[in-house]
Structure 1
Amino acid sequence: MMTIDVPEAYRRALDDFGALVHRIGPDQWENPTPCVDWDVRSLVNHVVGENLWAPELLAGRTHAEIGDVFEGDLLGDDPIKAFDTSAVPAVQAAIDHRVLDRVVHLPFGDVPGREYITELFADALIHTWDLARAIGADERLDPELVTACATWFADAGFGYRQAAVGEHQAGEHRKVPSETDAQARLLASWGRRA
């Protein structure tokens, strides 16, 4: 169970990711990231795709109804503008508390809106660290968001890891010493080496 408001956690995580998007240098879009086979551009494209899917899925549409409109290069010639344009409707859809109990149709099954938004939050948070590492920015994540994500992932991690949405996000769990800080433990649970 999350200890903070799920839509607010998602908004904050996406804001933090967006702040880093605005710091990407022209020569950094091809930098490798901790995500297997993804450079910075691919990572940002992934998050933009998630942002574009969110309002549609939270409105009750299915993947089949939407089709492949959000596949391929979503960044075009202005990746920063593409991110900004995608983030606003995603957050607006998520902060409408009526969607928390709505059924969301994901490829692997139906889930409550609250669960889907939690997955979006976790994805944005972990990818914030991925992007920071890739561009050499400060890698510290918001401690309150780290705690909230760790609490959720402790219960949901196995199922999330098995689902298709987790194929790039959640790598194999890494063991870390017990005295490791909360952020490093969270990242290790997502297969990251902090």
Structure 2
Amino acid sequence: MNVDPRPLYARTAEQIAALVGTVRPEQLAGPTPCAEFEVRTLLSHIVGGTRRIAVIGAGGDGLAVRPFADGVPDDAWSAAYDGARTEVAEAWADDARLDALVRVPWGEAPGRQALSGYVMEAVTHTWDLSDALGRPLALDPELAEFALAVARHVLPDAQREDPELPFDSAVPAPEGADAYERLAAWLGRTPLSRA
């Protein structure tokens, strides 16, 4: 994948920001398709992961950044996410970052591959959050198609036995599934309504 993922990441970030803005206080303790995350924990992971990719884009060690945000008040998730996504835009502004080798949790990779992987992660967590919130907004299908292509490239086998992987083995997508549902299924997720 030799594309510039920055515009796709920016669109993904806009979509996440809109979705985070819909979260009501009573939803924060609710379940998500990520069995180990409630909505609050998922928001913490989204913000923390966004900070991590900002550090990676700036040439830092992403592994030194905890992929969770601590100390964010329940009414400040939108502000926390907006701050983190601004950091990402600034860190990846230089075109040279796309070809520079960066260190990510899965090893070293050119910046464009690393950022494409984070588009996949962010789009996946967008679906997780949307499903947990009862799907309050329409989601951009082009972003899910890109994320699914990345997921199939980096995780080509449907069966995943590696406990280090943050994704389970693929599950069947429902008949007539949209791109987000196919992405979620490829990454082993089941909507709350079907869990």
Same fold, TM-score > 0.5, yes or no: yes
* CA distance, structure 1, for counterparts of residue 137 and residue 104 of structure 2: 31
**What are the ranges of 5 or more consecutive residues in structure 1 without an aligned counterpart?**
none
Residue 189 of structure 1 deviates from its aligned partner by 0.3
* CA distance, structure 2, for counterparts of residue 180 and residue 58 of structure 1: 34
Indicate yes or no: 2:90 matched with 1:125.
Answer: no
Q: TM-score, normalised by structure 1?
A: 0.83
Written as runs of structure 1 = structure 2, the 5 A alignment for 1:171-186 is: 171-176=168-173, 180-186=177-183
Written as runs of structure 1 = structure 2, the 5 A alignment for 1:42-191 is: 42-63=41-62, 66=64, 73-76=70-73, 78-138=76-136, 140-158=138-156, 164=164, 166-167=165-166, 170-176=167-173, 180-191=177-188
Residue 136 of structure 1 deviates from its aligned partner by 1.4
Name the structure 1 match of 2:36. Answer: 37
**What are the ranges of 5 or more consecutive residues in structure 2 without an aligned counterpart?**
none
Relative contact order, higher structure (CA 8 A, sep 6+) = 1
Name whichever structure is richer in helix by fraction.
1
* CA distance, structure 2, for counterparts of residue 20 and residue 188 of structure 1: 21
Q: TM-score, normalised by structure 2?
A: 0.82
Residue 181 of structure 1 deviates from its aligned partner by 3.7
Name the structure 2 match of 1:23. Answer: 22
Q: Percent identity?
A: 30
Residue 88 of structure 1 deviates from its aligned partner by 0.8
Change (3 A) 1:84 1:74: farther
Residue 33 of structure 1 deviates from its aligned partner by 0.5
The one-letter amino acid of 1:183's match is Y
Residue 179 of structure 1 deviates from its aligned partner by 5.3
Give yes or no for contact 2:51–2:65 (8 Å, CA) kept in 1. Answer: no
* CA distance, structure 2, for counterparts of residue 91 and residue 184 of structure 1: 28
The one-letter amino acid of 1:82's match is A
* CA distance, structure 2, for counterparts of residue 105 and residue 41 of structure 1: 28
Give yes or no for contact 1:74–1:82 (8 Å, CA) kept in 2. Answer: no
The one-letter amino acid of 1:103's match is L
The one-letter amino acid of 1:58's match is G
CA RMSD of aligned residues (A): 2.6
More deviation in 130-139 or 32-41?
A: 130-139
Indicate yes or no: 2:10 matched with 1:11.
Answer: yes
Aligned length: 187
Residue 96 of structure 1 deviates from its aligned partner by 3.1
